[in-house]
Amino acid sequence: MNWFNSFLRRARARLDRWLHPPYRTLMAQEALPKKLRRKTIYIVEEDGFEEQAAMLCPCGCRRVLHMNLLPDERPCWRLTRHEDGTASLHPSVWRKKDCGSHFWFRRGRVEWCRETDR
């Protein structure tokens, strides 16, 4: 019954992807659009440099999170783009005021961190 198990596993992965599609990765030249779409990470490029990444906070508070990508400014994130079109950020994103969202963004997916110190 091995083939059946692997069939099930593949079907479940496909269903999961369909129910929870990853974030789209959109490039923005020099400036962000006025209104950001949900489930989308924007990469702002200026003069060929990736300057910042931005997304709507995944908790639903509608605030825009900005992640600096320039290595000579702090704090700074490293953005990785994958072959399937998704992106990852390193380190985790932690909004210490307001909603307090703390999550990892990996391959277009939000992985929430447990709140151990709040």
> What DSSP string describes 6-48?
HHHHHHHHHHHHHHSPPPEEEEEESS--SSPPTTEEEEEEETT
Nearer to Zn ion, 25 or 101 (CB): 101
Nearer to Zn ion, 50 or 92 (CB): 92
Query: CB of 58: closest distance to Zn ion in angstroms?
Result: 7
Question: Applying CB under 5 A, which of residues 53, 101, 103, 110 lies at the interface with Zn ion?
Answer: 101
Residue 99 sits in the site that holds Zn ion (CB under 5 A) = yes
Beta strands in 34-100 (DSSP E): 40-46, 49-56, 64-68, 78-81, 87-90, 93-94
Question: Applying CB under 5 A, which of residues 32, 36, 59, 79 lies at the interface with Zn ion?
Answer: 59
Query: CB of 98: closest distance to Zn ion in angstroms?
Result: 6
- Please tell me the number of Cα atoms within 13 Å of 57 on its side-chain side: 16
Q: Can you tell me the distance from the alpha carbon of 11 to that of 105, in angstroms, rounded to the nearest whole number?
A: 24
Using the contact rule CB under 5 A, the part of the chain among 13-21, 75-83, 91-99, 103-111 near Zn ion is 91-99
Q: Where on the chain is the footprint of Zn ion (CB under 5 A)?
A: 57, 59, 61, 99, 101
